[in-house]
Amino acid sequence: MTTAIGAVMTERIVAGRLEDQRLTGSVLHHPQDQAKMDALSAVPSGELAEILASLIASLAAPGAAVDAIGVAVPGIILQGVVEDSPNLPQIKGMRIEHDLTRALNSRGIAAPVHVTNDADAIAAGVAATHGHLDKLVRVWTIGNGIGYGRWPYVEGVWEGGHVTVTLDPKERFCGCGGIGHLEGILGYRAMRRRFLDMEPEEIFAQARQGDTRCRDFVGLWHYALAAATASIIHLDGPGRFYFTGHNIGFLDPPLLRSYLESMVRMSPLQSYSIEVLPLDDGTPLIGAGVSALSAMEK
């Protein structure tokens, strides 16, 4: 039996214990108020490492071995270092594997730590829970930021949320400062910056009621996601695409599919599928653990 602990740090931190790629026991949250968004945006990076270590330590049963600890965070993660993280800017440059390993060692936990991108963890979790660990799985996560995850992992940056989907110089709403990015259209913060007079939920509600400005934006929202997905298909081939995240309720799959059909016209590339998955804590936690166990085997 393999034992791992998975932790995910995005808008909040969740952690859980896995045995043979299945969650066991309770999932821990910080903060405990799960409705609170952006709860970590003002927490210093050193304090975040201590919070992660405390949650992980509470899941490590006394005397029981833990094979691996997997942690998923947003941003570009290379060799255990957060190269950049626009949605948690305080962790940019953080040697997260080193810092977390040290914090865990001080608590008597010596299991190897592996850190991965949060969207990649979701892709790994989807592959594990759907029996697709031997297949190509791609995931878009839709929330404050836009993540793109891929299983199996291959070397690369894979910041799909920052792919350019428009050449309009006015499209400057992405949190990284780039022009024309997917996240600058789909991201929750970006929508709030664009529509200063209403919340994103109101934008989509008003669109359904026929408001022209909102309806045009909802069309752009889906068109941009279709453009990014079509670009991935043309680069990485067809296959399964899953869509999930805090704001997955904004997605209209038939509208997305209609745009995709107009963008992917070569017959060998048309064998793709799209599926919406409800957001849950278990999938990324399992994915973080699976990724950590997989990294040990390499």
Percentages of the chain per state (helix, strand, coil), in multiples of 5: 40, 20, 40
CB crowding 163-178: b at 16 or more within 10 Å, else e: bbbbeeeebebbbbeb
Cα–Cα distance, 47 to 42 (Å, whole number): 10
> Do 192 and 97 lie in a common domain?
no
**How confident is the model over 28-42, as a mean pLDDT?**
77
- Residue 11 counted as domain residue: yes
Final residue of a structural domain among 87, 118, 149: 118
> Do 85 and 128 lie in a common domain?
no
Q: What would the pLDDT profile of 173-217 be if each residue is shown by its tens digit?
A: 999 999 999 999 999 999 999 999 999 999 999 999 999 999 999
Q: Domain total for the chain?
A: 2
Q: What would the pLDDT profile of 180-189 be if each residue is shown by its tens digit?
A: 999 999 999 9
Name, in order, each residue with C-beta under 8 angstroms of 114's C-beta and a sequence gap of 6 or more: 68, 69, 70, 71, 97, 291, 292, 295, 296
Range of the domain at 159: 123-276
What's this model's pTM, rounded to 2 decimal places? 0.90
The secondary structure element, H or E, covering residue 256 is helix 253-263
Q: Which amino acid is at 68?
A: A
- Residue 186 counted as domain residue: yes
> Do 166 and 49 lie in a common domain?
no
Residue 108: how many other CB atoms lie within 10 Å: 9
Final residue of a structural domain among 102, 118, 134: 118
CA-CA distances (angstroms) from residue 283 to 13, 19, 52, 139, 247?
14, 14, 18, 12, 16
If phi over 0 gives left and psi between -120 and 50 gives alpha, with beta otherwise, what is residue 191? alpha
Nearest CA-CA partner of 56 in 92, 106, 128, 124: 106
- Residue 291 counted as domain residue: no
Which pLDDT value is given to residue 244? 96
- Residue 207 counted as domain residue: yes
- Using 50, 70 and 90 to split pLDDT, how confident is the model at 35? low
Task: Determine contact, residues 189/210, Cβ cutoff 8 Å.
Answer: no
Cα–Cα distance, 101 to 160 (Å, whole number): 29
**How confident is the model over 66-91, as a mean pLDDT?**
93
Peptide bond into 31 cis (omega under 30): yes
> Do 182 and 61 lie in a common domain?
no
Cβ neighbourhood burial of 47 (10 Å; 0-12, 13-18, 19+): exposed
- Using 50, 70 and 90 to split pLDDT, how confident is the model at 36? low
Give the CATH number for residue 181: 3.30.420.40
Is residue 255 predicted with pLDDT exceeding 80? yes
